[in-house]
Every structure is written in structure tokens, then in C-alpha cells.
A and B are shown apart, each in its own frame.
Chain A
Amino acid sequence: MGTVLVLGYGNPGRLDDGLGPALAERVAALAVPGVEADANYQLSVEDAALVAEHDAVVFADASVSGAEPFSYTELEAEDGTSFTSHHVDPRQVLYLAQTLFKSRVRGFLLGIRGYEFNEFDERLSAQARQNLDAAAAFLEQHLPTVPPVDGVGTTG
């Protein structure tokens, strides 16, 4: 059995932007052997080193306009140029993990739909919390392995 990393990212002080870290917190509380959970404000290049140590990584992020309650897709490593900030695209983290650290890690993106982002407050909107519950239940039923992409009736 391989190891799985659930990596949530977002700013919990920006309402639903905290969905990713909230999911990581849920997973950490499960304490499933072989499953590691981590969170940060945003993805960064050094996450490639951590990702490379695992067989699979589930990136968990808030989604502004994606499917409800969440979307779940497998990612292809990508050497694109879409650097807007210190925030790095998860496909590029995968690329760095595979290129620099010779990892064969597979990557998945769990985009949890959020609704409120543009205020300073550490809470999730009611609908986002429901979406978080659904995403957490989806992951929980499959851990310590990653869910199959076509394994549930998500619309993403």
C-alpha cells in the first residue's frame, strides 16, 4: 500500500478560501495510517519536495466557479508558464516533483466549491460547509487509497 498526501491550501482568514485547509484538518483528524495531511496559505515550489515523497497527492482547494459540491480530477504534470504569484499551479508542483526529485507521484485535484471570498473572517459559508462535508465524506470512504476519478457522482 502506498502513501497518500492530502495537501489543502487557501487562507482561512478569507472565508471560503479556507476550504482546502479545512479539508486537510478533517483528514488529519481521521489519523489514517499511510495518509498525511498538510495545509498552507498557498502552494509553493517547496511543496514539490514533500509531494515527491508520496505515491499520490490530493490537492484540495476552494473553487470559485467549479462544480457543486466539488470536482475531482486527475492531474497531468505540466510545465506551463502560468505563474501569477507565489501561488503555484498544482500541475506545476507535480512537474517539479517528477523532474527535480524523480518521483512517480500521481496527482489529483479536489476543488471544493466556495461562494464567499472577499471579506476578512475566519468562517465558511453555510453552503461551502455542506460542500466540505461532502468532499470529506468522499475522501474518507476511500482512504488510505485515493478515490478513483469516476468513483462518485460528482459533476466536475
Chain B
Amino acid sequence: MRTTPFYDRTNVLNRTGLWDHWAGYLSARQYHLSEKLEYFAVRTAAGVYDTSPLYKYRIHGRDAESFLAGVLARDVRTCKPGKAQYTIWCDDDGYVIEDGMLFRTSESEFMLTAAEPNAAYFQDLIGRASVEVEDVSEDLASLALQGPRSKAILSTIAPEIAELRPFDVIETKFNGSPIAVSRTGFTGDLGYELWVDSEDALDVGDGRFEIGVDHGLMPFGETALVMTRLEAGLLLIGADFGSSRYAWTDGASSTPGELGLRWMFKDIGKTQRPFIGREAIRRDLDGSGRRRLVGLTIDWADWDEHYSQAGHVPPKDHTPVAEEIPLFDKEQKRAGFATSFMYSPMAQRHIAIAQVLPEFSALGSEVDFEVTIDHVLHYIKAVVTKMPFYDPAHRTA
């Protein structure tokens, strides 16, 4: 298994020997015996996560903007230089292939991140356009520095970082090494991502880490990351949806509307921009759709009652469950399914991301959530809730 440019440090820091495999790289599941410690570091101080295994594509050239405007579903023309944009790309039938972050550093220079490889897909769409799509995944190392103290830590290295607004990107220098910094992340907290040439990775990482320690900065692994992203209501491919490129059936794919991404297409009727999947997406948005992505909060009293009656201490497990959990209505008819589930320390409730039939998608709608207690199925009340489940004021301050 390959290792990231930060491995010399992360390997020392990882006291558990627990690693996951991500895009062919070792990625720490947790550095400390308590993953919750790492989670709380992100929520109350700062945490650093090695995102280097992400696929990264440099897209540049005279036609880069028009190329991306036709390939990506969200309108890239609204992303000005110096900004980043969460985006998706879809197939002709309007099903989501994948999501990623797009960073625009100049008129003709972009970087797109993705959890899965996409080089062939994008390169095959270039045609006569004057644009290049380069896979720079190995050339660039990246770190996510997240948490309320991330601003204080980073601005001691480069004061201009304090001025960044959400989704801003700047290019600057740390210890003499060129670096790009974006105010982005996957935790729903105040946070930044650092993009640096792989050979400079350790210099940059060390400088940041030394300063951060007194602020409570600690490395965090995948478990803590997934906890924070679920509280933030951010989608995870492979958990909340699957790529339509590899779907066996349409039932296994999702439209942007079904994933709660209608907001990306507010102007779709007003602009003529042709892009892959446009008409199908328009039709889908006009209709009620097959299902809707919602947040669910499990009724605490009902949860406690079911477990207590069965003789158990009501469990409150913060470890995210990424298995499909069926949802029913009061008549035991299928109402949808949850895709990610956990006990949220910030919300002090069990929460889930789910897709439900449209008639159950209004805030406050109730569905029954299926759990197994001592091998017996139980149905526990859950309420459709606004996401994110946790949205601190400092995230956008």
C-alpha cells in the first residue's frame, strides 16, 4: 500500500496502528485510542487530516471555463478566480456521477478534487476545446486544518489567511514554499485546506504543527472525519449515494434533486448553458422526484423507551454506521431509507441522513426507523430535521 507525503509524520503520530485504505494509500482511521478525542479537537480546538489521497485534476487552458461549464452540472461561471465551489457532474440521464470541490486560481486555471478516479471521463470529453485535464494527484499533497482555532493557527504563519471568507482560495508561501490555502473542508466547522507540492509537504506540515500544538491541534482520522461530516450534513460517495457510472440499475443512482442539491440549479431556467444531463435534471426538478434527501433526528424518548423496555441501557454510539436502514410509515409501508447514522455528541441525539418518499420530506414529518434489539425488529420514531445538524456561528464568522 502506498503512503502519502506526510507518512513520515503520520506514522509516528498514529499510536493505534489502525489504517484504512483510501485510493491505494494508507489513511489513518484514528491516531489516538479515542477517536472521540480527535472529534472533540475538531469541534473545540483544531484537528488536521491528511487528505492527500484525494484525486486532484488540474484543468487549464483557454477553454477551461467553457469546458467545465459544459461538463459540470453546477455553473462554473459563478465561481470567480480566488474562489472554490462544491460541484457535481452528472450523466445524460441526470444521475449524479460524483461530487467534488472545484478551486479556481485564475481565469483559465482550475483544480478539481474527487474521491474516485475521473481522468478518462473528463479527458474523453475535451474534443476540440483548448483545455488540458492533468491528473496531479501525486504532485500535490494536501491537509485539512479544521476547527475553531484553525484560523488563529494558520494566521500566525500567513496573516492574510485571517481575511479569507468561506470558499476563498489564495496562493501564498509557508516557510518559503508555495502553497494554496482555501477556506473549505468536510467537517462543517471553521476550517481550511492546504495544497502544497508533494516535495514541500513535510516542511509545510511541520511548521503548521509546531504552532498548533499549544492550541490543542491534533491529527484526526477517518472516523472523526466521518462523524463531523455527518453532523454537517455533507454527502459521502459510497455511503449516501453511488456513482451512476457504475450503477447496475437506475434505482441505485440518484438525481441531484434526490440528493438535496436543488439549490445548485436555481438559475437553470434563466440561463441557456448546455451541460451534461441538463434536460433530464430540469425534468427531474420540475417533478416531485422519486425521493428526497433529508436529515432525520431519532426521537430520544422513543429510543430510550424501546431499549429500556428490552432491558438495555440505551446505546449512544457515535461511530457512524454506513449501512442502509429501512424507514417505514405508520402502516408499515416503505417510506425510504437512511444511508448514514450515528449518535451526534453535538446534537445529543441520534441523527441520520436519509432518502424518503416525497410525501415524507417536509420538515417535521415522521417516519419509523428500524433497529434490531436482541434480534427483534423495533420501529422507533424519527423526525425530518433541517440539516446541518451542527452549524456553529464561527463556521462562517
A and B held together in a complex: no
State the B residues within 8 Å of A (CB).
none
